[in-house]
């Protein structure tokens, strides 16, 4: 499973990349607003740090403006994945960019039917939002299971399932069990994955016993 980090925080990206946890980065207008940074400068800086796909989202919702914005975004670097909403206009932009060799991440996917459309439009990634479905008492992980199953039926679908809107470690582990290709998570949830109480207590015991030996490796 590829790990993308869902953030506009450069320090978090650098820190997680140091342990091999960053195969790519996703951003959205809300994360850009939170960062307080200039959007285009920030995406350029992230692209200099991360080799994998860096998702940069269009701000407009109409075809003409999205298409123009996409031109600006894709010129930043070859590994920018232009992020478009799952609307008819968004998928029109997706089809054109994909046909032209640019990665596209189709976002705001909330149904298997929408995921089929994204694949047919040639998206590199489709982003189903697990947490936001859970928030309205629908089963977000069931959506991942459905999309993975549908895509598996059609080998000509090249679109990768990018699990988004992750709220907790189980969203990641269960999506991995289902065979989702990629997940994008806030840094805080990735950091939760490192932790286990038995790791902490086991390490404390080893440190204590090592002291008893009076030895030093260095």
What binding mask, one character per residue, do residues 9-48 give for ligand G3P by CB under 6 A, x or -? Answer: -----------------x-x--------------------
Given the complex with ligand G3P, which of 30 and 201 has the nearer CB atom? Answer: 30
- As a whole number of angstroms, the distance between CA 100 and CA 96 comes to 6
Given the complex with ligand G3P, which of 34 and 205 has the nearer CB atom? Answer: 34
**Helix pair angle (169-178, 140-153), 10° resolution:** 20
* Bridge partners, residue 161, by sequence: 126
Nearest to 98 by CA among 130, 69, 125, 127: 125
For residue 145, state whether it binds ligand G3P (rule: CB under 6 A). no
Nearest approach in angstroms of CB 81 to ligand G3P is: 12
Residues whose CB falls within 8 Å of the CB of residue 113, separated by 6 or more in sequence, listed in order? none
Residues whose CB falls within 8 Å of the CB of residue 205, separated by 6 or more in sequence, listed in order? none
For residue 95, state whether it binds ligand G3P (rule: CB under 6 A). no
Given the complex with ligand G3P, which of 3 and 129 has the nearer CB atom? Answer: 129
- 19: alpha, beta or left, given left = phi > 0 and alpha = psi -120 to 50? alpha
Taking CB under 6 A as the criterion, the residue among 184, 187, 189, 190 binding ligand G3P is 184
* Bridge partners, residue 107, by sequence: 85
Q: Which stretch binds ligand G3P (CB under 6 A): 8-16, 43-51, 62-70, 125-133?
A: 125-133
177 in catalytic set: no
Given the complex with ligand G3P, which of 34 and 64 has the nearer CB atom? Answer: 34
Strand boundaries in 49-103, DSSP class E: 54-57, 80-85
Taking CB under 6 A as the criterion, the residue among 131, 169, 174, 191 binding ligand G3P is 131
For residue 132, state whether it binds ligand G3P (rule: CB under 6 A). yes
For residue 6, state whether it binds ligand G3P (rule: CB under 6 A). yes
Determine the Cα angle at 192 with ends 180 and 109, to 5°. 35
Residues labelled as active-site residues: 83
Residues that bind ligand G3P (CB under 6 A): 6, 26, 28, 129, 131-132, 164-165, 184
């Amino acid at each position: 499973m590829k790990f993308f980090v869902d953030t506009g925080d450069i320090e978090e990206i650098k820190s997680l990349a140091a342990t091999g946890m960053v195969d790519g980065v996703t951003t959205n207008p809300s994360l850009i607003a939170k960062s307080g940074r200039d959007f285009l400068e920030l995406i350029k800086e992230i692209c200099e740090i991360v080799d994998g796909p860096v998702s940069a989202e269009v701000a407009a919702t109409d075809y003409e403006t999205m298409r123009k914005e996409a031109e600006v975004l894709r010129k930043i670097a070859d590994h920018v994945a232009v992020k478009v909403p799952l609307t008819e206009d968004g998928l029109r932009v997706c089809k054109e960019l994909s046909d032209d060799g640019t990665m596209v991440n189709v976002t705001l996917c909330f149904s298997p039917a929408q995921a089929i459309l994204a694949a047919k439009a040639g998206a590199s990634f489709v982003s189903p939002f697990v947490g936001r479905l859970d928030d309205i008492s629908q089963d977000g992980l069931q959506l991942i299971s459905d999309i993975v199953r549908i895509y598996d039926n059609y080998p000509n679908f090249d679109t990768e399932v990018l699990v988004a809107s992750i709220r907790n470690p189980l969203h990641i582990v269960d999506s991995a069990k289902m065979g989702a290709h990629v997940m994008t998570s806030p840094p805080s949830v990735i950091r939760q994955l490192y932790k286990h109480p038995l790791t902490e207590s086991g390490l404390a015991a080893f440190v204590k016993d090592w002291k008893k030996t009076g030895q030093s490796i260095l």
